[in-house]
Structure 1
Amino acid sequence: MTDSRLPPPGTVVRRTTARVLPVRGDGKVLLLHGWDPLVPARPYWFTIGGGVEAGETVAQAASRELREEVALLVPADSLGEPVATNTIEYHWGGCPIIQHQTFFAVRVDAVEVSFANQEELELATISDHGWWHPDDLEATGQAAHVTIPGLLRQAVNAIELRKAS
């Protein structure tokens, strides 16, 4: 499958991303369900977020990605300090990707998720959203990356600490 929205197969993609972990009061975190466009038979759960664009801060990118991917409006200055950063390597769309990620946690209450603002490729590779306890996600083995359950735990802990102070 060749898709003009993807880089040529084998291209090493290096990217900096901003990711957001919306946390409800019950300790569940909002994730998206999707797949690699070349491997649709192996879906997984992943965090909301995407590439930081030229001229954006990481927090601005995080705010924009929340709006685009799930229609959740959170101003960049309301995100607070990042709860984690890491660099992961994986394959997607036939390309090796080296991705530096910055994660923000945000407390949410009632959220009406909408995919209306997603880009064409996102609409073609994201099927659903779900709220997950870190342990439950870890037990499924369906996280996009092995680090995600731990990141969910960090987000839940950060939100609990903010609530206590």
Structure 2
Amino acid sequence: MEYRDLPCRKNVRTILLNPHNQILLMKVALPDRTFWCTLGGGINPNESFEDAAQRELFEEAGYRPEELSQGHLVWKGQHILMRHGTLSLLDESFLLYRVTRVDFTTLHQTDEEKAVVKEMRWWTLEEINSSRQFIVPPRLGEHLERLLTLGPPSSPELIQLTDES
């Protein structure tokens, strides 16, 4: 089976930074794996990347669109995984946002999110780089350091989303 034959889900992920350049990650526990990841999810039909990202940030962390900086599309990537029993291609776009308040709420999470999101917290670059936890995307520390040093790229960078070397 080739990639183009797989069902494709378009996702938006967010690089949400606070004034201390910490990134908000959530710990997701699935039946077969547990990992930390950026906030985000599927893009609904007729929804833009930015609209989907803002919806996800409200659902998952309680941030309203007016609390977010202008979004920048910074990374893109694809990977294959088993989703609801079906091998699927995930096409992921990562948008950078900044917020001024560090407190967040999980009150607006969907039932599906409440079932799998076990924890959310702000991480420093140093914590990401020294962590033994499984964090996705792989090499998040390296990508984040480049983003913090150079700023958003003029066009999205293609990043690897699997942990294979």
1:153 maps to 145
Query: In 2, Cα distance between the equivalents of 1:89 and 1:150?
Result: 22
Tell me the SS of whatever aligns to 1:122: helix
Residue deviations 1:131-162 (CA, integer Å, cap 9, x gap): 1123422432420342433443354346589x
Whether 2:131 is the aligned partner of 1:131: answer no
Normalising by structure 1, what TM-score? 0.75
* Paired-residue identity, %: 22
Q: 2:46 aligns with which of 38, 55, 59?
A: 55
Residue deviations 1:60-94 (CA, integer Å, cap 9, x gap): 1111111111111125x943331111112233544
Normalising by structure 2, what TM-score? 0.75
| Runs (5+) with no aligned partner, structure 2 | 1-5, 154-165
1:30 maps to 24
Whether 2:13 is the aligned partner of 1:19: answer yes
User: Does the CA-based 8 Å contact 1:72-1:111 persist in structure 2?
Assistant: no
Query: In 2, Cα distance between the equivalents of 1:115 and 1:25?
Result: 20
Q: 1:69 aligns with which of 29, 50, 60?
A: 60
> What is the CA RMSD across the aligned residues, in angstroms?
2.7
Alignment CA distance shift 1:151-1:101 (3 Å): farther
Tell me the SS of whatever aligns to 1:22: strand
1:142 maps to 134
Alignment CA distance shift 1:113-1:72 (3 Å): same
Query: In 2, Cα distance between the equivalents of 1:150 and 1:92?
Result: 27
User: Does the CA-based 8 Å contact 1:79-1:104 persist in structure 2?
Assistant: no
Tell me the SS of whatever aligns to 1:106: strand
Counterpart residue identity of residue 153, structure 1 = E
Alignment CA distance shift 1:19-1:159 (3 Å): same
Counterpart residue identity of residue 26, structure 1 = H
**TM superposition shift of 1:21:** 1.1
Query: In 1, Cα distance between the equivalents of 2:27 and 2:47?
Result: 26
**TM superposition shift of 1:127:** 1.1
User: Does the CA-based 8 Å contact 1:49-1:62 persist in structure 2?
Assistant: yes
